[in-house]
Amino acid sequence: MRVFDVHYVLVTGGAGYIGSHACKALKQAGFVPVVFDNLSTGWAEAVKFGPLVQGDLMDRAAIDAAFAQYNPVAVLHFAALSLVGDSMRDPAHYWRVNVGGALNLAEAAVAAGCRKFIFSSTCATYGDQDGVLLNEDTAQRPINAYGASKRAIEDILANFEAAFGLEHVIFRYFNVAGADPEGEVGEQHRPETHLIPLMLDAVAGRRSALTLHGTDYPTPDGTCIRDYVHVTDLVNAHVLGLQWLLGGKGTRSFNLGSGKGFSVREVIEQAGLVTNRAVPIIEGPRRPGDAAALVSGSHRAVAELGWEPRHSTMEQMIRDAWAWGQKPGYEA
């Protein structure tokens, strides 16, 4: 049966960290998120705000069936492989899954007449450009297969707009952190790879120590510098992007970050202040494919979308992540 009386939005990867937060934001904005997820890294328990379709983006028939059943007004595409180190070791897997899955999804959207598409891209498309505040016009020179696969999907979307009128908003994320301040959803990866939850797991005793991956970068304290954005702020931008497309404003790209860079050691220092505990650390070698510094210029999102990154202080990101990790039933 096809349903037309509500505004459905197809959310790929909606059982994952960012996707689950996006589903909550969509529901609060009056949409019904339909999660399309193979649950390889996501959690069925995180699907709380709309129906779940368990399916894989490599299965075109499953995607077509989801479009036929729900007739979504738009697609939010989060599902992807996203580990830089893994992408350097096995680039073919990243090209096959990320690019192949996105191509299937774009083709299915066009076939179903759904021509509003929001894509979760990454600052990794810019590569390593130290000392440069990265804005949407900065040259894209990815240095790992993850960033290259995301850049390729951006090109696919441009081609599909030219050929089929597939309007799209691209969001290039910087480091996403924190958790829903109300505690309904949070960050929980298998395995965990993100700095802040790894650090807080070490503080809580769920792992022995946090490994510093490289202490000899050309930065003031030798550790990588990254721009962090609160997940709640990030997904609110996606709702604004959806409203942008539905309002007929057309294709646009936006960076999403706080505009402030923090070194790994600075994040560790802030975690100690928030938790009032020492962070156990060990020093390790650099990871292949890691840039020394990535900091956003997000002025376009603020000026054009009216986006306000209100939660994106390091203190609140760590505080919300710490609260989520202390919830009963949380598993590292």
Cβ atoms 2, 26 nearer than 8 A = no
Q: What CA–CA distance (Å, rounded) separates 105 from 236?
A: 23
Q: What CA–CA distance (Å, rounded) separates 175 from 163?
A: 33
- Which amino acid would we find at residue 160? F
The answer to whether 146 is a known catalytic residue is yes
DSSP annotation of 45 reads G
23 half-sphere exposure, CB direction, 13 A CA radius: 29
* Residues 6 or more apart whose Cβ sits within 8 Å of residue 30: 7
* Residues 6 or more apart whose Cβ sits within 8 Å of residue 251: 161, 167, 168, 169
Closest to 299 (Cα-Cα) out of 238, 257, 261:
257
Closest to 253 (Cα-Cα) out of 114, 110, 121, 115:
121
- Which amino acid would we find at residue 249? K
- Which amino acid would we find at residue 70? Y
List the catalytic residue out of 17, 146, 173, 217. Answer: 146
* Residues 6 or more apart whose Cβ sits within 8 Å of residue 286: 213, 214, 216, 217
Catalytic residues: 146
